[in-house]
Amino acid sequence: MAFEEKIPRRYPSRAEMQARVARFGDLKGFDGGLPDSHMPSAERILYNVLGFQPPPGEAGAVTSPVGARAARMSSIKITEGFNLGYCEALPGKGPMMHNHDTNETFIAIRGRWRASWEAEDGSVEHADLDPLDVISFPPGAIRRFENITEGQPDVYGVLMFVIAGDAPAAEFSAEAMGEIAAAGLLDAAAGGDDSWVPPHNDPRTWPTR
């Protein structure tokens, strides 16, 4: 008896598949558009590789995980239930505490990264990731990440993130928003004055382990 397929087949053209290829050297990265973008400790560059549409109700503390401008400039423009991007940051840098309405999964690519989350008693737990290690946050967990690579102060680390949903929303914690306001940087963040920057690292030049 012949096996009966249940999933309908599709036959994408070569042109359709070429539109689904993103070359690292061609990616557009942005260094702003988020509430904490102008905080010195949170400086980073985000690349919207696949998906990411602006979330409903985008304003104030609620934004796309990649920022307002990057959310409108994905390299592979699809809405198929998940999104993928990269973060580049120097050691000691990473976003402030924030939340997501869908799953967020991190994969360390270059450098060592610390993924932290808030426990119910207000304490902060963390897991440190070496290249190719993975951590997956459930919706609602207050979290942040930071490049903790030692001995390479001028080398940008690379972290991949995969986020569920077609238009996921991120929301910065009340404490983070208070720090941003106290630093006088809320107006700068609201302006969305993020700028494009090229990738700092070409994977072809990375040393092998």
> Could you tell me the pTM of the whole model?
0.90
Q: Read off the DSSP letter of residue 7.
A: S
Q: Are 130 and 209 in contact (CB under 8 A)?
A: no
Nearest partner of 89 among 71, 106, 64, 76, judged by Cα: 106
Is 50 a domain residue?
yes
Least confident of 128-142, 170-184, 191-205: 191-205
CATH of the domain at 42: 2.60.120.10
Q: Give me the pLDDT at residue 115, please.
A: 98
Q: Give me the pLDDT at residue 205, please.
A: 63
pLDDT at 54 over 70: yes
pLDDT at 193 over 70: no
pLDDT at 136 over 60: yes
Per residue in 107-131, pLDDT (tens digit) is 999 999 999 999 999 999 999 999 9
How many other CB atoms are there within 10 angstroms of residue 124's CB atom?
A: 12
Is 205 a domain residue?
no
Is 55 a domain residue?
yes
Query: What string of H, E and C letters represents the secondary structure of 32-93?
Result: CCCCCCCCHHHCCEEEEEECCCCCCCCECCEECCCCCCHHHCCCECCCCCEEEEEEEECCCC
Domain that holds residue 158: 38-190
Q: Are 150 and 91 in contact (CB under 8 A)?
A: yes
Is 2 a domain residue?
no
Per residue in 73-110, pLDDT (tens digit) is 899 999 999 999 999 999 999 999 999 999 999 999 99
Beta bridge partners of 62: 59, 171
pLDDT at 201 over 80: no
Is 124 a domain residue?
yes
Is 30 a domain residue?
no
Is 151 a domain residue?
yes
Alpha-carbon gap, residue 159 to 129, rounded angstroms: 10
Is 20 a domain residue?
no
Residue 209 pLDDT grade (very low, low, confident, very high; cuts 50, 70, 90): very low
When pLDDT is averaged across residues 49-76 and rounded to a whole number, the result is: 88
Q: Give me the pLDDT at residue 144, please.
A: 98
The total of structural domains in the chain comes to 1
Alpha-carbon gap, residue 204 to 112, rounded angstroms: 19
